[in-house]
Structure 1
């Protein structure tokens, strides 16, 4: 850097000027946060929630995430204010950060609270259980894979200004010689499918789709910016990009264009402190590891709040108002005003509370949350019978360890081979042990790529009785009427009918002319009369918001060809009509938004994703396994006898052990028809817990026992 520029810059920026900018930034951010909170509260009190409020509820930063996000907002706002000040002093084309010296950057980091967010922590010498946050999984770099850190970047971020402005934010700007199309236009022309017009997957059940979302919520959550729904921002009425609003414009010929200035609201993902380069990075609010954080939480305060506080026996808290024909249900959030109440005011049922905020997003997801909550509590009571001398903490940790193993096994042994098929071993070779040099952090691109599952969602939710027949009037509900509607579980027959529906229903098959059903493309979170959102448009806008490079950059990253013209692209897609549509919209394959380009590719042989997704998903899952010090197969994590027992479990086992369901297919991921593919639950292997019996004599003196357990 030119030193005169730096001196000159520092001259422009006195220390007092710097500190006053930081203080002004803090005030602006705090006010915006306060407005956003008040506005959501007011909406709930007036019982008017728009689709954005539902989305906001599911992705609202909480606990430590909130402080991390707020510090990043202080930092970003400080830089904006400095830029304005320096522009007034006549320095036009520049990057603020070039005008700051090291000391000034340190002051900003300290005063915004960013240095606290990125501090390193000292890990204990001996640990036998994972932390809730994922910290210290990697002893060399304690933060790798932990919650409330930036997503990993596999390719440098692509922002319009090189720092934080999403591509497509300024009208008329050209990329590779072409403007970026409106994401809603791409969605209308390429993604949209009528609800009636879907093809069923002939091999895979709806459990396959739901498991994908379950695992996804275990490893990533990009919460919304904390200033998200501040009414002062006018995200719905003003169509200009004004961070954190990045509204989705309607093309003039849009069937849903109500007024000419109307936009679909879109709030940017929250960012995380990045005082080294100041480039905008999104925060992952959950731990990257497959560690059942959906069940247990990703920060200590949450983990504590969902445990049973009264008897300290290691159990998870359960619902105190209702049961599911005698079986446990998830507890409610203790909010007097809960957004879920608005989906059916007469019954007044709030949202469920779990380790993950998104638990009530849809009924299938709530059902899986419920099953694993019950599995934890079932394991606790079984282990307590085997080891009466174990205390509540030991029972909690040992049960949690088994639940994590179950989820890892089902994901890698049953789910991923169906997804990646012949490419599984190419991306995820056999396990050869833990490698502390592998970074398990979920990558930013993966957080978008794994949304491929949206194209296998069906437009209706079906619920079946114990003879697997439609459950009366409850059996066929349009998807959009099930978002954030836990009352349907409590009032309409519990989780068993939902699980039976998932097991018997086919997943939707992704076809190039049938990407996203109308329910998701026009009615997302449309519980009330307000216009619903468009999930395809949200996914593409989110990719731009996250600074993800275009389609060909990712093809190059994966060692795949990078089509340059319509002929080459027709070959990649195996579909010249579709290639032509893409080229008309984007001008060049280089500009295609990752999500739409990746889901449009034909499947790898026998798989359910194309080559680009197979590469991104396969690479990520390999890192999640090889960089996890507590991976279930790692020698020393379980005894050989325990491993033998764990290998027998299946998702069918978990369903049988934790519901009233009596008959089940052996492989619930495959399509099964009732009754021919079903067996009695007692014919399914269960988890034999005898290898967990503590052989150490329970009359052993306490000191020796403690010494042993700490070793």
Structure 2
């Protein structure tokens, strides 16, 4: 019997607009907008609700104005910070990681697009004035690349979940859960737009390469993006997320999971010919979401978080049993502002200056500078230079750049240039300014919240930051309390066995703990409507990212079993036949 909750939520303006009676009677499948995951807090993790915080918002006026320095003067310009911190004055500048592949960076961007997006205000910010919708980054008269300012639209703000107008809170427009919403959409309109109901097999829409005999699936054309393709016939792809075409590696991954969905759905339709179109779609969505969770926790997180951090936050998955399936209805899985606006932007330090493309034998094609790849749909279709296969295989053999304050000039000087050979933007500076826009507490305050000692002076940071980098911070900031969260976190020395320092490790560990134990539909759970049988769960545990590539790329010859790591004697390439496959026969009317 369903219990009726007649009262309405306190703040529809903040997206807190659903109650238990709005939830579907069955809990076998997730809702498309993430609501009703928790039957007591049905809006937790839902698309269109405020981001959560580790520490309260820090605005100088208690409402929306960026925080001030320790002596109440304006903080240094984010562009000034960027120029000082990213200066190429050390041998270790953008040094490669000896173990991990550049695919780590690409998957990280794909992952964050599944759980977080803060839309910006509609004002185009045509001048350099600051107001409620624009927060431009001021630049010096002698700036080497920019003049006047770097324009920046503020993130849309909403009331807090208790409907208090101040301080501003920022919106997460997508679901917080690891549910592959970037493939399926976050609302019914987009989800239905992406589905192919004509064949009755639970498929997603796709397109074929124009003027080609290839039967490989590509993303359907996005009718809303008109300034994307260099070739007007090769338009940007439509998916569940509006950022699909930001760079070709991201587009390639979207295409891979589109193909994987359609392969699984087609197989299920052959195994269970009596299943409806909706059932095939939902079962495939459920399986793909489980595989995505498995890959994230078993392959991606070990590439960035050390083993002790993963153990501390319960992020290591079991290879058998269901011991790791603990769920707490008291844990809010919503995304943290400190995570999305600072900590998980550590991956920007890993971005390479060019896109490496290789053939099936891992022999290189001509690389392409990153500045020419933003919103350029033609690259994924360029089969003469490897196409999607070439992009993804290239990332598997390119060493991952170490995480530090050194970002490539391709994203500090040439980010999304308009026109393509014109001025770009500075992503390091944008990250700093976005943190101020969102009212993030200082690095020192978040560092303290993560269990590190509160620094009283710059030298107190020696427990986590190199002395040479501390000297840079001293030259920029007047007081240790002034350091922005992104600037401090990205400067930390990575912990042993991890890719990032202790503060960012803490924030990311907390976030992925919330995403696991606060998710009712977590794939390992048993004895609920959405549970997989134990045999099905064991099949899901077999699937790796390498297996997904084998099933979806056109011409894979050999591949390393762990594509997040470079090939080595411990990670030697094998044929696809040597990798475990998903046995979908276990879904033959199993419920």
Please report the TM-score for the alignment, with normalisation by the length of structure 1. Answer: 0.76
Cα distance, 1:565–1:418 mapped onto 2, change above 3 Å: same
SS of match in other structure, 2:548: helix
Task: Please show how residues 177-576 of structure 1 align to structure 2 within 5 Å.
Answer: 179-193=74-88, 198-225=94-121, 227-229=122-124, 233-234=125-126, 237-238=127-128, 240-258=129-147, 262-274=148-160, 276-279=163-166, 280-320=168-208, 322=210, 325-335=214-224, 338-341=226-229, 344=230, 346-422=231-307, 423-428=309-314, 431-448=324-341, 449-471=343-365, 475-492=366-383, 493-511=386-404, 515-526=406-417, 528=419, 529-573=421-465, 575-576=466-467
Task: Please show how residues 657-672 of structure 1 align to structure 2 within 5 Å.
Answer: 657-660=551-554, 661-672=556-567
SS of match in other structure, 2:130: coil
Task: Please show how residues 16-95 of structure 1 align to structure 2 within 5 Å.
Answer: none
| Residue deviations 1:581-628 (CA, integer Å, cap 9, x gap) | 212211122111111110110011110010001100000000000010
**Does structure 2 conserve the Cα–Cα contact (< 8 Å) formed by 1:157 and 1:548?**
yes
| Residue deviations 1:531-587 (CA, integer Å, cap 9, x gap) | 1000000000000000101001101111111222132123431x2222122122111
Tell me what 1:12 maps to: none
Structure number with higher helix proportion: 1
Tell me what 1:120 maps to: 19
| Residue deviations 1:339-376 (CA, integer Å, cap 9, x gap) | 203xx2x5443221001111100111111100100000
| Residue deviations 1:231-258 (CA, integer Å, cap 9, x gap) | xx43xx33x3112111100134422244
Is residue 688 of structure 1 aligned with residue 575 of structure 2?
no
| Residue deviations 1:493-552 (CA, integer Å, cap 9, x gap) | 43111111011111111245xx20110111000152331000000000000000101001
For residues 416 and 293 of structure 2, the distance between their equivalents in structure 1, rounded to whole angstroms, comes to 31
| Structure 1 unaligned spans of 5+ | 1-105, 169-173, 697-711
Tell me what 2:37 maps to: 137
SS of match in other structure, 1:357: coil
For residues 243 and 605 of structure 1, the distance between their equivalents in structure 2, rounded to whole angstroms, comes to 43
SS of match in other structure, 1:525: coil
TM-aligned CA deviation for residue 311 of structure 1 = 2.3
Structure of larger gyration radius: 1
SS of match in other structure, 1:291: coil
Structure 2 counterpart of 1:167, from 48, 67, 70: 67
**Does structure 2 conserve the Cα–Cα contact (< 8 Å) formed by 1:308 and 1:314?**
yes
**Does structure 2 conserve the Cα–Cα contact (< 8 Å) formed by 1:117 and 1:273?**
no
Cα distance, 1:195–1:295 mapped onto 2, change above 3 Å: farther
**Does structure 1 conserve the Cα–Cα contact (< 8 Å) formed by 2:234 and 2:378?**
yes
For residues 540 and 563 of structure 1, the distance between their equivalents in structure 2, rounded to whole angstroms, comes to 20
Please report the TM-score for the alignment, with normalisation by the length of structure 2. Answer: 0.91
SS of match in other structure, 2:304: helix
| Residue deviations 1:422-467 (CA, integer Å, cap 9, x gap) | 3210122562511111100001111021011000111010111122
Cα distance, 1:118–1:264 mapped onto 2, change above 3 Å: same
Task: Please show how residues 3-18 of structure 1 align to structure 2 within 5 Å.
Answer: none
**Does structure 1 conserve the Cα–Cα contact (< 8 Å) formed by 2:562 and 2:571?**
no
For residues 389 and 439 of structure 1, the distance between their equivalents in structure 2, rounded to whole angstroms, comes to 38
SS of match in other structure, 1:495: helix
For residues 141 and 389 of structure 1, the distance between their equivalents in structure 2, rounded to whole angstroms, comes to 36
**Does structure 2 conserve the Cα–Cα contact (< 8 Å) formed by 1:194 and 1:517?**
no
Cα distance, 1:144–1:257 mapped onto 2, change above 3 Å: closer
SS of match in other structure, 1:405: helix
Task: Please show how residues 89-104 of structure 1 align to structure 2 within 5 Å.
Answer: none
SS of match in other structure, 1:685: coil
For residues 608 and 675 of structure 1, the distance between their equivalents in structure 2, rounded to whole angstroms, comes to 20
For residues 172 and 59 of structure 2, the distance between their equivalents in structure 1, rounded to whole angstroms, comes to 19
**Does structure 1 conserve the Cα–Cα contact (< 8 Å) formed by 2:209 and 2:381?**
no
Is residue 656 of structure 1 aligned with residue 543 of structure 2?
no
Structure 2 counterpart of 1:619, from 510, 517, 533: 510
Aligned residues: 562
Tell me what 1:6 maps to: none
**Does structure 2 conserve the Cα–Cα contact (< 8 Å) formed by 1:329 and 1:370?**
yes
SS of match in other structure, 1:483: coil
For residues 84 and 590 of structure 2, the distance between their equivalents in structure 1, rounded to whole angstroms, comes to 65
| Structure 2 unaligned spans of 5+ | 1-7, 317-323
Structure 2 counterpart of 1:152, from 35, 41, 52: 52
**Does structure 2 conserve the Cα–Cα contact (< 8 Å) formed by 1:347 and 1:487?**
no
SS of match in other structure, 1:452: helix
**Does structure 2 conserve the Cα–Cα contact (< 8 Å) formed by 1:504 and 1:674?**
no
Cα distance, 1:183–1:455 mapped onto 2, change above 3 Å: same
**Does structure 2 conserve the Cα–Cα contact (< 8 Å) formed by 1:434 and 1:626?**
yes
Cα distance, 1:428–1:527 mapped onto 2, change above 3 Å: farther
**Does structure 1 conserve the Cα–Cα contact (< 8 Å) formed by 2:35 and 2:42?**
yes
Tell me what 2:319 maps to: none
For residues 672 and 613 of structure 1, the distance between their equivalents in structure 2, rounded to whole angstroms, comes to 28
TM-aligned CA deviation for residue 281 of structure 1 = 0.8
For residues 476 and 268 of structure 2, the distance between their equivalents in structure 1, rounded to whole angstroms, comes to 59
Tell me what 1:68 maps to: none
SS of match in other structure, 1:663: coil
Tell me what 2:320 maps to: none
For residues 115 and 577 of structure 1, the distance between their equivalents in structure 2, rounded to whole angstroms, comes to 44
Tell me whether 358-367 or 275-284 shows the greater mean CA deviation: 275-284
